[in-house]
Chain A
Amino acid sequence: MNKDINFLATKTSEKAKKKKGLMLVKVIAIFSLIFVALLSVLVYYVNGKIYPQALRSERDSLLRRLSTLHNREAKLAIVSNRIENISELIDKRVDYSKLISKFFEKMPSGIKVDNLRLDKQTILLTISSNSLLPINEFIDGLIELGKEKEISVLLLDSLSTSEASSAYSVSLTANL
């Protein structure tokens, strides 16, 4: 059995313990306050450094000035779009007038064009002449056009002679 029980001593120790605890809580409270205050200032400072107000002001000012030029921007966008389309159109269309001119350049005198049909892929030509020589010369000319890659295939569809008009008639097909 413990005989050294001293009630007065226990009371003093409890008071000291409470005082110590209170001190600790006060210190923690002060440190918490300082910590939170410092962290807040730090966040505010870093915030201002990372994304300065000047940057935002400059951005807003530029956006305001650009908004007055939207009309010009729209016009430019339309012109760019249209000219792209126009270029595409001009580049893809076949200039038949040049092709027909090339055909006629190769045509010697004495040949009459009875019919010329032309579409995106083929040219059907019916010519007539009193002599076979100019027809031969013309076909030689068309073969040259083939070498120049103007036409890819040249077919002689028919060669006939008419007793009434004493003329030779030739039908040709050329693929483009």
Chain B
Amino acid sequence: MEKRVNIDITILKFLYARYKQFIIPGVVILVCFVLLITFIIPQLKALFELSTNAKKDSNRIIVLKNNLNFLSSLSDSALDSQLQIVSTALPTNKDFIGVINAISYAASFTGVSVSEFQLQIGDLSQAPTDTSKFSSLSLKLSVNGNTNDVNKFIEALYTTFPLSEVTSINIGDTSSTVEINFYYKPLPPVNYNDSTPINPIPSSRLKRINDLYNFNYNFSSSSESVSNSSNGLVNPL
């Protein structure tokens, strides 16, 4: 059987008159309880997370300070010079003007003549995207000169920018054929991560950069003769 409670205004008035002194303390308890549940307990929980973040930030500040000190100590001119030389040594795309300059320089330096050459430039409209491997421009040269001259030509190419590698040599009585790969490689994207320590270039690599200043290069990639002495570039190392 369903029991029905009939609350009318008289009962409500009676209950109010009877318990009105309990209302204010009751509301206070309720508000305190709500505050505890909705604000204070989550804040207490967040304290643990905050503690972890504070530790992380402390470590991060050390890294940031070291990075800042290191970057501030670098010279812009030295960096620019290094950037220029490494970019000339290993271009980011098909630098066929640089390639022709290198051959021209090596030929004139060693006294050989290049009678004909095939340069496979490929598709210039598509920029290379794979930053993990080296790409190359393949070249087949007919070089007129004796064995010694051809050898000197190869030697000169090895110390001329852009960097190249001879893949095949066929030296005959009067003329020779040399196949060369001129390398290039796109730059990987530079990602800034403030939490990662910036490491200086190791001394072995700095020595390598230093060695590159003894190579033959032409930063402008113009048709002028290729020579490092004419650039007036000062080795910053």
Contact = CB atoms under 8 A, between A and B. Distances in A.
A32 interface: yes
Contacts of A55: 54, 57-58, 61
Given A50-B50, A89-B134, A89-B183, A26 B68 contact: no
B79 A47 contact: no
Given A35-B32, A116-B171, A97 B152 contact: yes
16 contacts: A28-B29, A32-B28, A40-B39, A43-B44, A50-B51, A75-B83, A76-B198, A77-B190, A78-B187, A78-B190, A82-B90, A82-B187, A89-B134, A100-B169, A116-B171, A120-B168
Interface of B: 21-22, 24-26, 28-29, 32-33, 35-36, 39-40, 43-44, 47, 50-51, 53-54, 57-58, 60-61, 64-65, 67-68, 71-72, 74, 76, 79-80, 82-83, 86-87, 89-90, 134, 147-148, 151-152, 154-155, 158, 163, 165-173, 183, 185, 187-188, 190, 192, 194, 198-199, 201, 205, 208-209, 212
Given A80-B205, A101-B151, A22 B21 contact: yes
Contacts of B188: 81
A75 B79 contact: yes
A72 interface: yes
A70 B201 CA distance: 17
A72 B68 CA distance: 11
